[in-house]
Chain A
């Protein structure tokens, strides 16, 4: 069974802390994505990666960075957490090639910044 695993379901961090959200997939997928989900806004793409050490900005990259040192792992980093980064964060992965490839999602990390 395919699996995308996010390291934490719930996190509470203080303003100004550096925060790491980890995501691991076991499907040997080339592409990995980080989205944030907010009510009324749907999912918005923060960053994505199409290969190891490769990354591209999504629609809302400000205040975030990412790291992909191994194919199976994609980390989202909040350099200095702020209260407006309180949100649900979803990681996803997909294979390259073919039409309408399915993205597989993790269960999400609900981050609260206080």
Chain B
């Protein structure tokens, strides 16, 4: 079945550092790819998404590019802030039916001032 693997955490960075969180996937079809973020004490919320190869999703300074050749969707941000501290989940869904999400393990990010 479909699966998502993302880099192990936790990740700790200093403010203004460059961030990369790796994500790779296995899917039988042509899935849509997502990054969701969970701030402390809250549910998940969509950060960005991409629907086809070479699409770039972006939001709040974060970016990720759908790479079909490497089955990857790595999350990047050029300069992180303390407010980016959260748990980040990579996910995929097949583009039909209920489009249920398959999630990676989550990566806890802590940004120190």
Contact = CB atoms under 8 A, between A and B. Distances in A.
Contacts of A41: 105
Given A43-B103, A90-B44, A96 B89 contact: no
Given A40-B105, A99-B32, A90 B51 contact: no
Contact of B99 (A40, A56, A101, A106): A101
Interface residues of B, number: 27
A4 B89 CA distance: 19
A58 B100 contact: yes
B109 interface: no
B45 interface: yes
Contact of A100 (B4, B42, B50, B105): B50
Interface string A5-37: 000000000000000000000000011010100
Contacts of B102: 45
B43 interface: yes
Contacts of A74: none
Interface of B: 4, 32-34, 36, 41-46, 49-51, 89, 93, 95, 97-106
When A and B form their complex, which 8 residue pairs have the shortest distance between CB atoms, in order from nearest? A105-B43, A100-B32, A42-B103, A43-B103, A105-B44, A42-B105, A31-B98, A99-B51
14 contacts: A33-B101, A40-B105, A42-B4, A42-B106, A43-B101, A48-B98, A48-B100, A50-B97, A90-B44, A99-B32, A100-B33, A100-B99, A103-B46, A107-B42
